Amino acid sequence: SQWGEENLQALSIQEGEDVTMNCSYKTYTTVVQWYRQKSGKGPAQLILIRSNEREKRSGRLRATLDTSSQSSSLSITGTLATDTAVYFCATDRQGGRALIFGTGTTVSVSP
Amino acid sequence: GPKVLQIPSHQIIDMGQMVTLNCDPVSNHLYFYWYKQILGQQMEFLVNFYNGKVMEKSKLFKDQFSVERPDGSYFTLKIQPTALEDSAVYFCASSLGGSSAETLYFGSGTRLTVL
């Protein structure tokens, strides 16, 4: 499997709180992409972080990448009810073209 | 933003029948993908496709599966014959380039139920 400790978990928070989700992977990757999937929809990309980057920010999102521990995190500050979704990290397994997704973290944000 | 359309959204068929799932990718995209998702869990990579050829496929892409995109029309996934374990949501995606740093644009999926 591509994945070590799975990022499979479910988080329930209140609007306005911050949330961080983690993902770890077994095989070297050149990029980590984070996607969000809302109910009944396909995943949509949130942020991409390359192996030579430690941190990437986009609006309320912050992604980190630690290549030594082969782990990445995604933080959302000031969550909104519309952030309710499943969040996936995805890697490329040693630079292959195929993007391989983790099992996802379910985040439920209550108004 | 760019949209990928999948038709139909639901399909119910009997085991052993053939099914074709259709995908209308983003118009200027060159790379196409199919993923399989069971019960809202992990997105499993099936195959990617470029210039009329399969570039990579996973172990889930069984011999009963095939993909094609004849002359810029729909990108299709055909399963013949279907099995019970093929029941899942199938997502099509497309990207402009083929590297793993490209953004994949996904459709809303086709829910396939094999009885």
| Domain B5-100 part of CATH 2.60.40.10 | yes
Contacts of A101 in chain B (CB under 8 A): 35, 42-45
Say if residues B102 and B25 touch (Cβ distance below 8 Å).
no
The residue count of chain A comes to 111
Please tell me which residue of chain A has the smallest CA distance to B38: A103
Mean pLDDT taken over chain A: 90
Query: What are the phi and psi torsion angles at A16 (to 5°)?
Result: 95, -20
Q: Is A7 on the interface with B (CB under 8 A)?
A: no
Mean pLDDT for the stretch of residues A12-24: 95
pLDDT at A65 over 50: yes
Percent of chain A with pLDDT over 70: 91
Nearest Cα to Cα of residue A7 among A88, A84, A82, A76: A88
**Segments of chain B with pLDDT less than 50:** none
Q: How many CB pairs under 8 A join A and B?
A: 67
Cβ neighbours of residue B59 closer than 8 Å, sequence gap 6 or more = none
Per domain, the residue ranges of chain B are 5-100
Say if residues B92 and B32 touch (Cβ distance below 8 Å).
yes
- CB < 8 Å from A in window 44-83 of B: 44-45, 48, 55-56, 58
Closest CB to A97 among B42, B98, B108: B98
Q: Is B40 on the interface with A (CB under 8 A)?
A: yes
Residue A111: beta bridge partners?
A: none
Closest CB to A98 among B48, B103, B107: B48
Percent of chain A with pLDDT over 90: 74
Domains annotated for chain A, with CATH where assigned, are 9-110 (2.60.40.10)
Candidate from A21-35, A60-74, B17-31, B81-95 with smallest mean pLDDT = A21-35
Please tell me which residue of chain A has the smallest CA distance to B55: A97
Buried b (16+ CB within 10 A) or exposed e, B35-45: bbbeeeebbbb
Closest CB to A104 among B42, B104, B107: B42
Q: Is A31 on the interface with B (CB under 8 A)?
A: yes
pLDDT at A5 over 50: no
